[in-house]
Amino acid sequence: MTNLKTEKRVLFIVNPISGIGKQKGVERMIAERIDQTRYIPSVVYTNAPGHATEISRKAAQDGVEIVVAIGGDGTVNEAAAGLVGTETALAIVPAGSGNGLARHLKIPMNLKRAIDIINKGKTLKIDTATINDQLFVNVAGIGFDASVAKKFAIAGKRGFSTYLRITANSYKDYEPRQYTLIIDGKVIRRRALLISFANSSQFGNNTSIDPAANVSDGYIDVCIVGKMPFWKTFFLGPLLFLKKFDQTKYVEIIRAKEVILTRKKGKSIHLDGDPKIMGKELTMKISPLSLNVIVP
């Protein structure tokens, strides 16, 4: 009689330079925590930008059931890019600086506990979106936060303290820009410090300008943020952590399925925290329920 194996294949994609080094010793941790009566684990390390997308796409083509991104929001973004529209599920073991999508989905920041979530195998379909055909799964943005993301990417030292220092040092001198947006056919014009396209509620590091964002509602929340006087940041800044910043007069939130944004010049944008350079016109489109994710 032939024994049919029922174990699912789980491929762990590790970014060895992500975040602050939490992912060290990960192979031993996987061997200790993954339920090997249910799963056949394997581990591969990324070696260049975009490598995680190549790995995850090949895994989905080969019928691997779960691909695990071990890293930060950038690693999650790359892994997801190879899985959108497939049956293969994405799992997240957060080892980055912000870990925005993981925090929104209530995935533990402790690596061992995050691996335990995979053992339960519960999945959720979530929305993904693109700007000029480039994917984001958590938050994308232009303006001030894109400028900060660009500086953070070359800062050398990672972590929240570095991000906070760059933000504080850049805020005073950053001038709001003028933007024209066509949101589901309606034209609006705004002068803004930043505009974020939020799929989830999390900027990262447990901060939020859009606590009501829902990854499975078929909408992206367009968060238009005005610049407040510098002295007010000391009083209103903490509201980002208290999930109340959206209640201030500096935030306008509009739900959208498609947005065409025009700015005066091509410049920085960030997709899930990774800086990119794009042109004057940006087109955001949502792909509802296009990615399977392992959740608690």
Domain boundary assignment for the chain: 8-121, 134-288
What integer pLDDT is reported at residue 44 of this predicted model?
94
- Which CATH class name applies to 134-288? mainly beta
Beta bridge partners of residue 45, listed in sequence order:
14
State how far the Cα of 149 lies from the Cα of 219, in Å rounded to an integer. Answer: 24
Tens of pLDDT, residue by residue, the chain (296 residues): 334 457 899 999 998 766 545 556 788 889 889 998 999 999 999 988 899 999 999 999 999 999 999 988 999 999 999 999 999 999 999 988 789 999 999 999 998 999 999 999 899 999 999 999 999 999 999 998 888 888 887 776 766 778 788 888 888 888 999 999 999 999 999 999 999 999 999 887 788 889 999 999 999 999 999 998 888 888 788 788 878 888 889 999 999 999 999 999 878 999 998 999 999 999 999 999 999 999 99
pLDDT at 4: 46
Supply φ then ψ for residue 218, to 5 degrees: 80, 10
Dihedral over alpha carbons 250, 254, 260, 261 (to 10 degrees): 0
Between the alpha carbon of residue 237 and those of residues 70, 119, 166, 250, 278, the distances in Å are: 30, 38, 15, 12, 29
| Prediction pTM value | 0.90
How many residues does the structure list for the chain? 296
* Alpha helices for 62-135 (secondary structure H): 73-81, 100-104, 111-120
Task: List Cα–Cα distances, 220 to 3, 7, 199, 207, 287, in angstroms.
Answer: 47, 36, 5, 18, 10
pLDDT for residue 22: 56
What topology is assigned to 8-121 in CATH?
Rossmann fold (3.40.50)
The pLDDT assigned to 279 comes to 93
The CA-based angle 84-202-94, given to 5 degrees, is 65
User: Phi then psi for 236, rounded to 5 degrees?
Assistant: -95, -25
Reported in sequence order, the residue ranges of the chain that DSSP labels E, i.e. its strands, are: 8-14, 39-45, 66-71, 89-94, 123-131, 134-136, 139-143, 177-183, 186-192, 194-198, 220-225, 251-256, 258-262, 267-271, 274-278, 281-294
DSSP-H helix ranges across the chain: 26-33, 51-61, 73-81, 100-104, 111-120, 144-153, 160-171, 233-236
Question: Can you tell me the distance from the alpha carbon of 232 to that of 226, in angstroms, rounded to the nearest whole number?
Answer: 12
Structure tokens at 130: 């693109």
pLDDT of residue 152: 80
pLDDT for the residue numbered 19: 53
Are domains 8-121 and 134-288 of this chain identical in fold? no
Asked if 104 and 201 touch (Cβ cutoff 8 Å), the reply is yes
